[in-house]
Chains A and B, each alone.
Chain A
Amino acid sequence: RIMPVRWSRYNPSYLEPEAKTESYQKPLEELTEEEKKQMELKAVRPIKAAPSTLSSSVFSDPMISKFTNMMMKSGNKVLARSLMSQTLEAIKRKQLEKYHKAPENEKETIECNPYVIFHQALKNCQPIIGLSNITRGGKTYQVPVPLTDNRKRFLAMKWLITECRENKHRRTMMPEKLSQELLLAFNNEGPVIKRKHILHKMAEANRAYAHFRWW
């Protein structure tokens, strides 16, 4: 008999697991009153099972994990994670080669850290305003609508991945395509930034329907 697990709810008395190593390395004297109470509570209450994505590594990054999950197909996290690490390595190699060939005065402007490039590229791809379909009197209008942070991040990541999957040559590997796209987005060029601008222009063009929004 298969037990349903995905939507199973924990009893409210269960506490979240703590992954950060710093909180366990503090000696007893440094803890404040609240932290002492929290420790005593943890000694008596049961704790939820830690999800497999929770990591105590100093190198783990939630945005990178989210992006890896979105790249994953049919649950193959191993492949998605290896593609992600190959992408970061490819970005680093390209930037380091540029760095070593550049003259002295330009060396500080070249960013070699793949994580900084990734975060900046995602930030550059995030749209400010989005469109949503609202039906009035039988006709559907595209109404400009503010987006939440989560939705913006999701759209940026989704656009990057679809751009790499669909609009490139069949034989190029994903790390190569992704690293190219991320570097273009870091410099505010490339097809993903163009798609963001098109969305902004459509929202600007449909300004007249903005009053249809009721939330």
Chain B
Amino acid sequence: QLDRGCALHTAARDGLSSMSSQDVPAERPRAIFHTSESDPAKHTEQHEGRLYNIPLEEVKAVFPHGLPPRFQQQIQTFNEARVMVRRPALELLSYLKGSNLAHPAVRYLIYGERGTGKTMTLCHVVHYCSRQGWLVLHIPDAHLWVKNCKELLQSSYKKDRLDQPLQASAWLKNFKSSNERFLQEIKTQKRYMWGKQESTEKGRPLGEVVEQGLARVRSASDAVGVVLRELKQQSHRGSFRLLVAVDGVNALWGRTTLRKEDKSPVSPEELTLVHNLRKMVRNDWSGGAIVTTLSQTGSVFKCSSAYTPQELLGKEGFDTLDPFVPIPVPNYSPREFESCYGYYLERKWLQHEKAHTEDGKAELQFLSGSNPRQLDRLAGPL
């Protein structure tokens, strides 16, 4: 463990040149790909292409939901969570560090082709913000709210809207576990009625609203709406900084696969969760930032080769999100590929004898096209 730290600080800036020299002992070239800096605030271009470790307790606290399923499997197999520091993430972090919180919230849109690491970039930013003490509102995948919903209840608040109790309660549970201390500090500003008998008074901590939503699953979607509304209204005071992180934001505009009982299709505005989230993503509040990701993989009714914001958001979504900062995420650069390959070798993930040779490495690079997801899928059976 100690070797990794030393190798970082004495290593040259370009890791590749030190790998090719023969006098470096066999263990050192592997350690160059790691960095002992586990605080995202201190990541700079020097750490680009290197993997940093997130302690497992922190992973459970910061990411109850939100990490891609294959990455979660990888965490369990390797017994550690290593995330690569890449240029788009460093760019986003520098913008966040220099942003003025008195101004309206800036919207950042992370886009790129399939499997290039958009969700992992978002997770890196979420980790940074939670380390800095921001309140993180992380919606792991907005597509889960517009497809495959087993129960759709008619909303008691507005007649023509539909509630999704299961998705809302699942999200509330995860939100509660990651943001415990904020929920005790923030107080409600209005009296909310849940049905005829139950109500939450003005001035009670937000934790009670969340408890209400978890206890009475029927009103979970309304509880989510209340939480979002309170956070938006109170963020400009400056007592906490709010990060809205939405993965797959293109699900909020477009079509859903859900149908009402009379078999007519449901449009996203008719869902309470989507309606409230759209209000959150508007930049009419200050005291935080909105970081979103486009995703074609889980989307419905979208062509599989679509990856640009124009195609995936549609006209309505693009106009709503219009002044945003686009952050493209490319495939692995040669240095990042070396780093990932070295990490797999070190963790004994690449077991095939030929995978250790130059031919095997060249073949992996060619077959995957330096795409992170393809490399992960190819390296699985090898």
- Please list the residues of chain A having a beta carbon within 8 angstroms of any beta carbon in chain B: 57-59, 84-86, 88-89, 92-93, 96-97, 99-100, 112-115
Contact = CB atoms under 8 A, between A and B. Distances in A.
B348 A112 contact: yes
A93 B363 CA distance: 23
Contacts of B77: 93, 96-97
24 contacts: A58-B357, A58-B359, A59-B352, A59-B355, A59-B360, A59-B363, A85-B380, A88-B380, A88-B381, A88-B382, A89-B380, A92-B349, A92-B351, A92-B381, A96-B78, A96-B348, A96-B349, A97-B76, A99-B348, A100-B78, A100-B79, A112-B351, A113-B352, A114-B381
B197 interface: no
A92 B351 CA distance: 8
B344 to A, nearest CB: 11
Nearest to B364: A59
A114 B360 CA distance: 17
- Which of A86, A112, A115 has its CB near the most chain B CB atoms (within 10 A)? A115
Contact of A115 (B73, B351, B360): B351
Given A93-B77, A97-B77, A58 B360 contact: yes
Nearest to B382: A59
A57 B357 CA distance: 13
Interface in B326-365: 348-349, 351-355, 357, 359-360, 363
Contacts of B79: 100
Contact of A84 (B76, B363, B381): B381
B105 to A, nearest CB: 41
Nearest to B380: A89
Contacts of A85: 380-381
A154 B38 CA distance: 52
Contact of B354 (A59, A93, A96): A59
Nearest to A117: B351
Contacts of A84: 381
A115 B381 CA distance: 9
B381 A89 contact: yes
Contacts of A92: 349, 351, 380-381
- Which of A84, A89, A97, A112 has its CB near the most chain B CB atoms (within 10 A)? A89
B362 to A, nearest CB: 9
Contacts of A57: 363
A84 B355 CA distance: 18
A84 B73 CA distance: 19
Given A58-B354, A92-B351, A113-B353, 6 more contacts: A86-B381, A89-B380, A96-B78, A96-B348, A112-B351, A114-B351
A97 B75 CA distance: 11
Nearest to B74: A93
Contacts of B357: 58
Contacts of A97: 76-77
A99 B380 CA distance: 17
A108 to B, nearest CB: 13
A93 B73 contact: yes
Contacts of A96: 77-78, 348-349
Contacts of B355: 59
A89 B359 CA distance: 22
Contacts of A115: 351-352
Nearest to B367: A57
A99 B79 CA distance: 11
A97 B357 CA distance: 25
A174 to B, nearest CB: 14
Contacts of B353: 113
Nearest to A96: B77
Contacts of B78: 96, 100
A107 B357 CA distance: 24
3 pairs of A and B residues whose beta carbons are closest in the complex: A85-B381, A88-B381, A89-B380
Interface in B42-83: 73, 76-79
A58 to B, nearest CB: 4
